[in-house]
Structures are given as structure tokens and as C-alpha cells.
Amino acid sequence: MPVRFIDHPLVSHKMGLLRKKDIDIQSFRELTTEISAILTYEAVRDTVTESCSIHGWSSELTVRHIKDKRITLLPILRAGLGMVNGALSMMPWARVSVMGIYRDEVTLQPVPYYENLVPNIADYTAIILDPMLATGGSVSETVGILKKQGCRKIKGIFLVAAPEGVERLQKDHPDFEIYAAALDEKLNDKGYILPGLGDAGDKIFGTY
């Protein structure tokens, strides 16, 4: 499974700001948006382009454009919503599918509760958006649901990944591509990533 941790000074800098304990809601949202744009840029690097002719200001010329724009973003509710604007800033034409899954606080098992996917998702590349890849349960469940619908090209972008989550996805879905801004140390006994960000959904929505 391709796993890429984006090693870039801007990402390191922004992640450092995002990790501050007393960060305010606005800064958390803005940084999440900015980092998500960079992760999206990396995640679509393999997109195929083709040449086409246009009327340039001085002459006819050949330029390149994206051949197949069937890409759907797929935020996992709720925290993944915080990454949508950043991803859309790179690909304003992208469709948005939504997956509602929460993690049971005691068992840490994913609980699906809502799904609204683009029709014919089997024809699309799906890019899952979730700030936190912790045990990997929520994402593994989501990838399983997408595969049942016939979707074959599935990637995910994450602000922070835990080694446990990466390992789980490598086992459950070896073809799933991971792009993350950081690989952290481990999970604590409540399934939170250390050093991590805390509860990303609470920070994005202000529910703390």
C-alpha cells in the first residue's frame, strides 16, 4: 500500500501551529484547510492529463488538461468536513460524497449512521478526508463500503496518522493509498493519537 508522509517545510510549520494546546477555532480551521490543500495536491499527482488546443492570446497552442475529472471527495463526518474547502480549493470541480461514521467511545468500533454517495461511484476516484487516522477502524469501514459499491481507486488524506491505523489499513486494504501530514508515535488507552491534536472534530466545530 502506498503510504506517503508529506515532508515539506510548509507542512511541518503549519502542523507545529496546529498542535498548540491553546489554538483558537479560527486558526485550527484555517490551518486544517491549508494543509488539506497541500495533501490534496500530493494525492492527485498521478492524475492523467491529455493535450488539447486552445486560442492563446498570441496564437493557437497546445496545453494539457486533466483527462478524467471523475473525482469525489469523501469527508467522514464530522471532522472530515473541516478538510473539504482545502481539497476543493485545488479541485473546484470535484463531487462531494459524505460518510457518517462515529467511533464508539468505549469499544472504539466504527458505527456507520449516514451515507450519501455520488451516483455511479464505481466510476470515480474517491479521496477520503479525515483529520485523524487512529485505530483505522473508521477508514477501513469506509473503504469496505466503497469497495462494495464497486469503487476501486480509493485514497485518503489525513492530518495525523498513528502507526496502528496505518498497519490496520495495510492489512485490511493493501491497495488503499494514504497521504498524511504526520506520522505520530502511538495511541493512548482511549484510542487517541499521541502526541496528536486531541479531538479534531471538537476543535473544528467548537464543541468543547
Determine, following the binding rule CB under 6 A, whether residue 102 of this chain makes contact with ligand URA: no
- CA angle (153, 36, 174) in 5-degree steps: 30
Q: How far is the CB of 37 from ligand PRP (least distance, A)?
A: 19
Task: Determine which residue in the list 31, 134, 154, 169 makes contact with ligand URA, applying CB under 6 A.
Answer: 134
Among ligand PRP, ligand URA, none, the one that 32 touches (CB under a kind-dependent 5 to 8 A) is: none
**Position 151: which residue type?**
C
Using CB under 6 A as the binding rule, whether residue 192 contacts ligand PRP is answered as: no
Closest by CA position to 130, among listed 185, 81, 182, 187: 81
Query: Are 136 and 169 spatial neighbours (Cβ–Cβ below 8 Å)?
Result: yes
> What's the Cα-to-Cα distance from 112 to each of 18, 102, 115, 174, 186, rounded to whole Å?
28, 7, 8, 22, 25
Provide, rounded to whole angstroms, the least separation between the CB of residue 191 and ligand URA.
Answer: 6
Contact stretch for ligand URA (CB under 6 A) within 35-43, 84-92, 173-181, 198-206: 198-206
Binding region for ligand PRP (CB under 6 A) = 76, 78-79, 102-103, 108, 110, 130-138, 165, 191, 200-201
